Amino acid sequence: MNKSKTIEIDPVTRVEGDLRFQARCDDQGVISHAQSSGSMFRGFERFLVGKNPIDALGITPRICGMCSAAQSYVCSNALRDLFQIQMPANGYHIKNVVLGVENIQNHFTHFYLLFAPDLAHPRYEKKSTYNKVARRFKINGDSYKRFIHLRNDFMNLMGIFGGRWPHNLAMQPGGTSEILNDRLRLNYGYSHYLAFKEGIEKLFLGCTIKQWLKIDTLEKLETYLENQKNKSDLSLFLTAGMEFGLDKLGKGPEKYISAGAYDLTDGSFLFTPGFYDGGFKNFYHQHITESVKYSFFEDDAASSYHPFQGKTQPCYVENKEKYSWVKAPRYQDQVVEVGPLARMILDQDPLVYKLFKQKGASVWLRVFARFQEAVRTVAELEKWILSIQINEPNINHWKDVISGEGVGLGSAARGILGHWIQVEKGVISNYQVITPTAINGSPMDHNHLPGPMEMATIGTNIQDENDPLELLHIIRSYDPCIVCSCHVVRLK
């Protein structure tokens, strides 16, 4: 390998949106420097200014087609905070069903369509599990095709409980406008849920969800793997992932934040919020700031700002310092990771947290955490559906405000999602959005610290500079999503 070889992947395929990634390797093939570049401009914050606050409900779901329900969920939370309105129990249950369905299908879609095909790479053909992996996980493989059919049927739940998908409009500050006034309709939705649950148990787990959730120690996990002998897709991934060395790749910052996931009627969350930096601490949105020193925006490059003080003023300049349209969000000026791994660690999931303490973070654990969260959410989905009361209200009404501010936080599939709204004279004066990939895929900050995805690749040995499979494994383990963007076009 040539000295200081630069690898550029532009665009990174099988991720959502236009992502460019550059890595510089030393003469031993080890990555010494990395740059994650969002090559499109997100302009939603700018054209929300001057709008009626309620207009945000129709605009923000268009930020992303893959996680539009999450955008709607968090926007409605920000408006609920702004209007100081309470929700009835049905509002919580229905909103959680819609968000849960979106996140679950996102997690499994990421694995079968975006991540797993790389496991069928010819580099692994001498491994003992390769033939099974290639047969099931390659594009158009057996499991790939079976999941597509499962997913299509499962997504009917979005129409039943949310009215439509993507770009859901049913979520409101005081609940949900989708009226479930027919027991037959509710039963129809439940039947779709049961079909998906059974399909995931047969295809993915090789046992019932109830049996899987009893596996709460590493010894029980070993017994599960011995009994399965790679018959289920989960057991095959866990075995092959370690055989392929994915448990040694992509450590990342090993600091995590979560705003919690799925608001419950008692004010708590299904998955616990917090900040992990070797110990567990409370999470405060006031500790989130954004830096733009290496991003194409106008601002004080020597500082970072909380979203209420931030702005989104694009400033494209061709120089060697700025390299991304993504800002650099930080927590207490520290580089933190978000996503299912963060949520499972902060919730102290009995399997994920023990594996994290034993083996540390990795591509393998990041993907497994996504599975664990998906399966746990499938189990909760049934409780939420059965808790919906047909004759009870779904929504409370609110009064408009002349001025004020609101914060909406939640968890999209890829991690923490935040909306911050400020209103003056009855219209939006400032609206800021921080998406999960804005955190994980961020560039360096004003302290010259690389973003989580960049950090996870540094120190990685690349076997083949012309086919940097290790780099792609790490990037895709974060499931980056850059589609919440508008193209920048230079007109002449």
Neighbours of 290 (CB within 10 A): 26
**């309470």: which residue's tokens?**
86
| Cβ partners under 8 Å of residue 148, min gap 6 | 112
pLDDT for the residue numbered 490 = 56
- Distance set, CA 218 to CA 131, 238, 280 (Å): 27, 13, 22
pLDDT for the residue numbered 3 = 62
pLDDT for the residue numbered 14 = 85
List pLDDT tens digits, range 104-162: 999 999 999 999 999 999 999 999 999 999 999 999 999 999 999 999 999 999 988 98
Q: What is the three-state SS of the chain?
A: CCCCEEEEECCCCCCECCEEEEEEECCCCEEEEEEEEECCECCHHHHHCCCCHHHHHHHHHHHCCCCHHHHHHHHHHHHHHHHCCCCCHHHHHHHHHHHHHHHHHHHHHHHHHHHHHHHHCHHHCCCCCHHHHHHHHCCCCHHHHHHHHHHHHHCHHHHHHHCCCCCCCCEECCEECCCCCCHHHHHHHHHHHHHHHHHHHHHHHCCCHHHHCCCCCHHHHHHHHHHHCCCCHHHHHHHHHHHCCHHHCCCCCCCEEECCEEECCCCCEEECCEEECCCEECCCHHHEEEECCCECECCCCCCEECCCCCCCCECCCCCCCCCECCCEEEECCECCECCHHHHHHHCCCCCHHHHHHHHCCCHHHHHHHHHHHHHHHHHHHHHHHHHCCCCCCCECCCCCCCCEEEEEEEEECCEEEEEEEEEECCEEEEEEEECHHHHHCCCCCCCCCCCHHHHHHCCCECCCCCCCHHHHHHHHHCCCECCCCECCCCCC
pLDDT-flagged residues of the chain (< 70): 1-3, 181, 184, 484-492
Q: Are strands 269-271 and 280-281 parallel, antiparallel or unpaired?
A: unpaired
Query: For the chain, what's the residue count?
Result: 492
Residues facing 421 on adjacent strands: 406, 431
pLDDT for the residue numbered 484 = 56
HSE, CB side, 13 Å, CA atoms: give it for residue 459: 10
Do the beta carbons of residue 26 and residue 462 sit within 8 Å?
no
Among residues 285, 263, 436, which one has the least CA distance to residue 366?
436
Residue 384 phi, psi (nearest 5) = -65, -45
Give the angle 203-271-255 at the CA atoms, nearest 5°: 100
Q: Domain extents for the chain?
A: 5-477
pLDDT for the residue numbered 253 = 98
pLDDT for the residue numbered 1 = 41
**Residue 172 to residue 220: CA distance in whole angstroms:** 43
pLDDT for the residue numbered 491 = 55
**Residue 168 to residue 193: CA distance in whole angstroms:** 19
pLDDT for the residue numbered 301 = 72
Give CATH superfamily name and number for 5-477.
Cytochrome-c3 Hydrogenase, chain B (1.10.645.10)
